[in-house]
């Protein structure tokens, strides 16, 4: 009898962790990983690449360096469609890969919410190319000021005040004073504005922590506009609504970090989805497709306490992957699938290299301690999706500068 074919899509936190756990279990199965790049990138650090405080090399590692080739076949290719009724996956190169069991971890994309001009003029942070492009644009505009003397070249608008936006603001406000001499721009003329539609900033933290975080960024020169929905992104400005009036901030650098959605492949493949995410069964399979597991940012798992799905994070993606590997093992042993349960380990946001806010172990932390926690969590995540030597090479051990 031929071996069960397990195909894993995406080499993010969800996909890589599933592979690492399946490798450890030594099951008698064929494992194939399909991902569009030959590297894993730490999505949780994309804002650093976009701000220029880390490079792509710092936050990536080669997939083949951490896989066991005797156990896993890696295909570097883009998935275009999941043919769920034929149990196969179509690739951009025209090939089709069949599966008996499928684990989908295709991650997130930028969400425009249908706002005019976002796709043309907003710089999203969703993968390595977009983060590098955002950094290039920022540096080009700052450099150009010398010639143009146009103040909009020194104006940066960050759209949205969620996690990614706040962490990006932490990084650029650390970096800009360090590069103003090199790029020859007056730091006191730099204008950084963060525009948020919701009435409250950082609602996932206590009022004290949220006030601390916002205060740190304000002291570094960030101006927040809150309860002010964005209406249009232009080539050189952002139009928003304030007190019923349309206003515009001129800016050459416009960072689009208002939110993300699950991979477009999910909708294109005909799954019952909302914003690229499928509400999965308790065992993390897809309704009507018991051989298909969906985890990470393409999945939605209901939090019974709040009555809303858990926020999509690397943290939940990794524990979902552990659960799916365990359920695959149980299935092969003829045992029942177990229901997934999630207990959050906490929430940490960085505010640049040496500052941050955190809620963990039922306590609030801020400042340097929170930033050390953030680096420790990032190192643990690298270990969970690779191996010890990769964690030692790529980890963050710069706790003291
Ligand atoms: C700046 C930033 C900071 C964040 N900070 C935190 C944090 O502090 N803590 C936290 O828990 N979460 C954080 N998150 C959220 C976290 O990064 C995501 O929830 C997490 O990356 C989801 O993991 P994933 O494996 O589902 O998707 P991803 O990490 O997006 O991985 C998807 C993988 O699929 C591949 N892929 C995509 N499309 C295709 C295709 N069509 N064909 C083949 N391969 C494909 C990609 O190349 C990638 O390898 C942050 C996110 C951002 C952007």
Query: 211 in a domain, yes or no?
Result: yes
Q: Is 78 in the pocket of ligand 1 (CB under 6 A)?
A: yes
Distance CA 27, CA 169 (A): 45
For residues 181 and 255, membership in a common domain is answered with: yes
Residue of 140, 209, 237 whose CA lies nearest to 360: 209
- Pocket mutation for ligand 1, best pick of 12, 19, 172 (most atoms within 8 Å of C-beta): 12
Q: Is 44 in the pocket of ligand 1 (CB under 6 A)?
A: yes
Query: 62 in a domain, yes or no?
Result: no
Supply the DSSP string of 321-334, one letter for each residue.
HHHHHHHHHHHHTT
For residues 215 and 279, membership in a common domain is answered with: no
What is the residue whose two structure tokens read 């399946």? 22
For residues 243 and 230, membership in a common domain is answered with: yes
Contact 105, 10 (CB under 8 A): yes
Q: 86 alpha carbon to ligand 1 midpoint, in Å? A: 27
For residues 132 and 105, membership in a common domain is answered with: no
Number of domains in the chain: 2
Contact 194, 222 (CB under 8 A): yes
For residues 188 and 127, membership in a common domain is answered with: yes
Q: 297 alpha carbon to ligand 1 midpoint, in Å? A: 7
Query: 357 in a domain, yes or no?
Result: no
Checking phi first, is residue 261 left (phi over 0); if not, alpha (psi -120 to 50) or beta? beta
User: Can you give the CATH number for the domain in which 295 is found?
Assistant: 3.50.50.60
What is the residue whose two structure tokens read 């150009």? 144
pLDDT at position 306 is 87
What is the residue whose two structure tokens read 């936006």? 165
Locate the DSSP E strands across 301-389: 302-303, 308-309, 347-350, 356-360, 363-366
- Which of 167, 171, 196, 273 does the annotation list as catalytic? 167
Contact 385, 40 (CB under 8 A): yes
167 is an active site residue: yes
Distance CA 46, CA 133 (A): 11
Query: 232 in a domain, yes or no?
Result: yes
Q: Is 314 in the pocket of ligand 1 (CB under 6 A)?
A: yes
Q: Is 108 in the pocket of ligand 1 (CB under 6 A)?
A: yes
Q: Is 297 in the pocket of ligand 1 (CB under 6 A)?
A: yes
For residues 135 and 251, membership in a common domain is answered with: yes
For residues 204 and 273, membership in a common domain is answered with: no
For residues 22 and 147, membership in a common domain is answered with: no
CA nearest ligand 1 atom 5, residue: 44
Domain-ending residue, one of 259, 277, 300? 259
pLDDT per residue as tens, the chain (401 positions): 789 999 999 999 999 999 999 999 999 999 999 999 999 999 999 999 999 999 999 999 999 999 999 999 999 999 999 999 999 999 999 999 999 999 999 999 999 999 999 999 999 999 999 999 999 999 999 999 999 999 999 999 999 999 999 999 999 999 999 999 989 999 999 999 999 999 989 988 999 999 999 999 999 999 999 999 999 999 999 999 999 999 999 999 999 999 899 999 999 999 999 999 999 999 999 999 999 999 999 999 999 888 999 999 999 999 999 999 999 999 999 999 999 999 999 999 999 999 999 999 999 999 999 999 999 999 999 999 999 999 999 998 887 55
For residues 205 and 250, membership in a common domain is answered with: yes
CA nearest ligand 1 atom 51, residue: 44
pLDDT at position 400 is 57
Domain-ending residue, one of 259, 286, 320? 259
For residues 340 and 240, membership in a common domain is answered with: no
For residues 130 and 213, membership in a common domain is answered with: yes
Residue 394 CB neighbour total at 10 angstroms: 20
Atom of ligand 1 nearest to the CA of 78: 42
What's the token pair of residue 150?
A: 């146009």
For residues 235 and 136, membership in a common domain is answered with: yes
Residue of 29, 84, 109, 11 whose CA lies nearest to 286: 84
Domain-ending residue, one of 259, 275, 291? 259
Query: 227 in a domain, yes or no?
Result: yes
Q: What are phi and psi of 271, to 5 degrees?
A: -75, 150
Query: 397 in a domain, yes or no?
Result: no
Residue ranges making up the domain that contains 314: 4-36+77-109+261-344
- Pocket mutation for ligand 1, best pick of 16, 43, 132 (most atoms within 8 Å of C-beta): 43
Query: 383 in a domain, yes or no?
Result: no
Query: 70 in a domain, yes or no?
Result: no
């Amino acid at each position: 009898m031929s071996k069960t074919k397990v195909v894993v899509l995406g080499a993010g936190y969800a996909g890589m962790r599933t592979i690492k756990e399946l490798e450890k279990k030594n099951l008698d199965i064929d494992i194939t990983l399909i991902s569009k790049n030959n590297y894993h990138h730490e999505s949780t650090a994309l804002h650093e690449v976009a701000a220029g405080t880390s490079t792509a090399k710092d936050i990536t590692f080669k997939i083949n360096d951490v896989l066991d080739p005797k156990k896993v076949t890696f295909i570097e290719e883009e998935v275009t469609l999941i043919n769920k009724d034929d149990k196969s996956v179509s690739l951009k190169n025209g090939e089709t890969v069949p599966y008996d069991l499928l684990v989908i971890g295709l991650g997130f994309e930028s969400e425009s919410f249908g706002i005019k001009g976002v796709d043309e003029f907003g710089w999203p942070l969703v993968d390595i190319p977009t983060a590098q492009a955002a950094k290039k644009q920022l540096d080009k505009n700052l450099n150009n000021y010398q010639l143009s003397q146009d103040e909009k070249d020194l104006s940066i608008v960050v759209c949205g005040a969620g996690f990614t936006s706040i962490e990006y603001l932490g990084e650029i406000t650390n970096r800009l004073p360090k590069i103003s001499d090199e790029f020859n721009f007056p730091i006191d003329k730099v204008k950084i504005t963060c525009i948020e539609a919701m009435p409250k900033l950082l609602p996932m933290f206590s009022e004290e922590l949220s006030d601390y975080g916002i205060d740190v960024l304000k002291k570094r020169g960030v101006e927040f506009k809150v309860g002010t929905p964005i209406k249009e992104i232009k080539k050189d400005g952002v139009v928003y609504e304030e007190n019923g009036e349309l206003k515009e901030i001129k800016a050459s650098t416009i960072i689009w970090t208002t939110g993300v959605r699950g991979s477009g492949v999910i909708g294109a493949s005909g799954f019952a989805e909302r914003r690229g995410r499928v509400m999965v069964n308790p065992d993390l399979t897809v309704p009507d497709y018991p051989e298909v597991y969906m985890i990470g940012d393409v999945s939605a798992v209901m939090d019974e306490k709040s009555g809303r799905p858990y926020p999509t994070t690397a943290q939940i993606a990794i524990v979902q992957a552990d659960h799916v590997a365990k359920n695959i093992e149980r299935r092969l042993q003829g045992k029942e699938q177990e229901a997934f349960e999630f207990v959050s380990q906490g929430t940490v946001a960085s505010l640049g290299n040496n500052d941050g806010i955190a809620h963990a172990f039922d306590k609030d932390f801020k400042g340097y301690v929170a930033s050390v926690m953030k680096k420790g969590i990032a190192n643990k995540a690298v270990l969970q999706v690779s191996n010890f030597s990769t964690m030692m090479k790529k980890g963050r051990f710069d706790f003291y500068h």
